[in-house]
Amino acid sequence: MPAPLPLPPALFAAVARYWGFATLRPLQEQAIRAVLGGRDSLVVMPTGGGKSLCFQAPAVVRGGLTVVVSPLIALMKDQVDGLARIGVPASRLDSTLNAAERTTTFEGIRNGTTRLVFTSPERLVNTDVFRMLQNANTHTVAIDEAHCVSHWGHDFRPEYRQLARLREFFPKAAVHAYTATATEQVRRDIAQQLNLSNPDILVGNFDRPNLTFRVLPRLDLQSQVREVIDRHAGDAGIVYCLRRKDVDEMTAALKTAGYRAVPYHAGMDNAARRESQEAFAAEDADIVVATVAFGMGIDRSNVRFVIHAAMPKTIEHYQQETGRAGRDGLPSECVLLHSGADFITLKSIIEKSAEEAQAAPEYVAASVRHLEEMGRYCRGALCRHKALVQHFGQTYTTPNCEACDICLGDTQEVPDAVTVAKKILSCVARVKESFGASHVIDVLRGADTASIRARGHHELSTHGLLKSVPKTDLRDWIYQLIGQDVLVQAGDEYPLLKLNAASWAVMNGKQTVRLIQLARREKRSGTSAATPGQPFALPAGADAELFEMLRKLRRQEASHDGVQPYVVFPDTVLAEMARGRPTSEDALRRISGVGDVRLQTYGRTFLKAIIAHCLRTGLSENVPMPKAAPRTAPAVPALPAAKPSGKKEVAFKMFRTGASIAEVVYKTELAPATVNEYLADFVRAEKPKSIFKWVPEDVCERVAAAAEIHGTERLKPVFLELNSEVNYEAIRVVIAFITIQD
Ligand code: ADP
Ligand code: ZN
Instruction: Supply the CATH number for residue 360's domain.
Output: 3.40.50.300
208 lines ligand 1 (CB under 6 A): no
Q: Which range has the worst mean pLDDT, 4-18, 372-386, 639-653? A: 639-653
pLDDT for 293-343, tens place per residue? 666 666 788 999 999 999 999 998 899 899 999 999 999 999 999 987 888
CA 307 to centroid of ligand 1, rounded, Å: 23
CA 268 to centroid of ligand 1, rounded, Å: 32
CA 81 to centroid of ligand 1, rounded, Å: 16
Q: What is the mean pLDDT of the segment spanning 194-207?
A: 93
Model confidence at 642: pLDDT above 50: no
Residue 638 confidence (pLDDT)? 34
CA 381 to centroid of ligand 2, rounded, Å: 10
Model confidence at 535: pLDDT above 80: no
Q: Are 237 and 303 in contact (CB under 8 A)?
A: yes
- Residue 182 shares a structural domain with residue 224: no
Tell me whether strands 116-119 and 65-69 are parallel, antiparallel or unpaired: parallel
Q: Measure the CA angle with vertex 314, ends 313 and 319; round to 5°.
A: 120
- Residue 462 shares a structural domain with residue 500: yes
Q: Which range has the worst mean pLDDT, 116-130, 243-257, 334-348, 628-642? A: 628-642
- Residue 396 shares a structural domain with residue 265: yes
Q: Whose CA is nearest to atom 17 of ligand 1?
A: 50
Distance CA 695, CA 697 (A): 6
Q: How far is CA 155 from CA 26, 145, 293, 351, in A?
A: 28, 9, 8, 19
What is the reported pTM?
0.72
List, in sequence order, every residue forming a beta bridge with 333; answer none if it has no partner.
212, 305
Helix (H, G, I), strand (E, B) or coil at 287: strand
- Residue 116 shares a structural domain with residue 166: yes
327 lines ligand 1 (CB under 6 A): yes
Task: Read off φ and ψ for residue 142, nearest 5 degrees.
Answer: -110, 130
Q: What is the mean pLDDT of the segment spanning 667-680?
A: 76
Q: Are 19 and 595 in contact (CB under 8 A)?
A: yes
CA 54 to centroid of ligand 1, rounded, Å: 10
Residues whose CB is less than 8 angstroms from the CB of residue 72 and which lie 6 or more positions away in sequence, other chains included: 296, 297
Distance CA 308, CA 314 (A): 13
pLDDT band at 93 (very low <50, low <70, confident <90, very high): very high
H or E element at residue 207: none
Q: What is the mean pLDDT of the segment spanning 559-563?
A: 87
Ion ligand 2 neighbours (CB, 5 A) are 383, 385, 401, 404, 407
- Residue 216 shares a structural domain with residue 334: yes
Q: Which range has the worst mean pLDDT, 222-231, 324-333, 609-618? A: 609-618
User: Would 641 be classed as within a structural domain?
Assistant: no
User: Would 632 be classed as within a structural domain?
Assistant: no
- Residue 275 shares a structural domain with residue 371: yes
Q: Which range has the worst mean pLDDT, 78-82, 311-315, 723-727? A: 723-727
CA 74 to centroid of chain Cα atoms? 20
Higher pLDDT, 665 or 413: 413
Domain final position from 599, 617, 635:
617
- Residue 242 shares a structural domain with residue 187: no
20: closest CA among 610, 603, 609? 603
pLDDT for 370-383, tens place per residue? 898 898 898 877 89
Model confidence at 5: pLDDT above 80: no
Mutate which of 327, 567, 574 for ligand 1 pocket (most atoms within 8 A of beta carbon):
327
Q: Which atom of ligand 1 is nearest to the CA of 570?
A: 14
CA 528 to centroid of ligand 2, rounded, Å: 14
Tell me whether strands 174-179 and 138-143 are parallel, antiparallel or unpaired: parallel
474 lines ligand 1 (CB under 6 A): no
User: Would 319 be classed as within a structural domain?
Assistant: yes
For residue 135, which amino acid is it?
Answer: N
The 3-state secondary structure of 658-722 reads CCCHHHHHHHHCCCHHHHHHHHHHHHHHHCCCCCCCCCCHHHHHHHHHHHHHHCCCCHHHHHHHC
Q: Are 73 and 94 in contact (CB under 8 A)?
A: yes
Question: For the chain, what is the domain count?
Answer: 5
List, in sequence order, every residue forming a beta bridge with 178; answer none if it has no partner.
43
16 lines ligand 1 (CB under 6 A): no
Distance CA 118, CA 519 (A): 50
Distance CA 69, CA 140 (A): 11
CATH no. for residue 701?
Answer: 1.10.10
Domain final position from 617, 637, 659:
617
Residues whose CB is less than 8 angstroms from the CB of residue 347 and which lie 6 or more positions away in sequence, other chains included: 368, 371, 492
Q: What is the share, in percent, of the chain residues with pLDDT greater than 70? A: 92
Residue 276 CA neighbour count, 13 Å, CB half: 24
Q: Which domain holds residue 178?
A: 9-203
User: Would 534 be classed as within a structural domain?
Assistant: no
Distance CA 246, CA 342 (A): 13
- Residue 400 shares a structural domain with residue 441: no
503: closest CA among 413, 439, 426? 426
User: Would 467 be classed as within a structural domain?
Assistant: yes
Residue 531 confidence (pLDDT)? 41
Q: How far is CA 658 from CA 458, 587, 683, 695, 739, in A?
A: 86, 18, 12, 12, 20
Domain final position from 184, 203, 222:
203
**Residues for the chain: how many in total?**
742
- Residue 342 shares a structural domain with residue 229: yes
Q: How far is CA 44 from CA 26, 191, 201, 707, in A?
A: 13, 12, 8, 65
Model confidence at 109: pLDDT above 90: yes
- Residue 405 shares a structural domain with residue 417: no
CATH no. for residue 493?
Answer: 1.10.10.10
Model confidence at 734: pLDDT above 50: yes
- Residue 324 shares a structural domain with residue 461: no
Residue 181 confidence (pLDDT)? 81
- Residue 92 shares a structural domain with residue 183: yes
User: Would 3 be classed as within a structural domain?
Assistant: no
CATH no. for residue 553?
Answer: 1.10.150.80
Distance CA 131, CA 124 (A): 9
User: Would 1 be classed as within a structural domain?
Assistant: no
pLDDT band at 637 (very low <50, low <70, confident <90, very high): very low
User: Would 529 be classed as within a structural domain?
Assistant: no
Residue 625 confidence (pLDDT)? 84
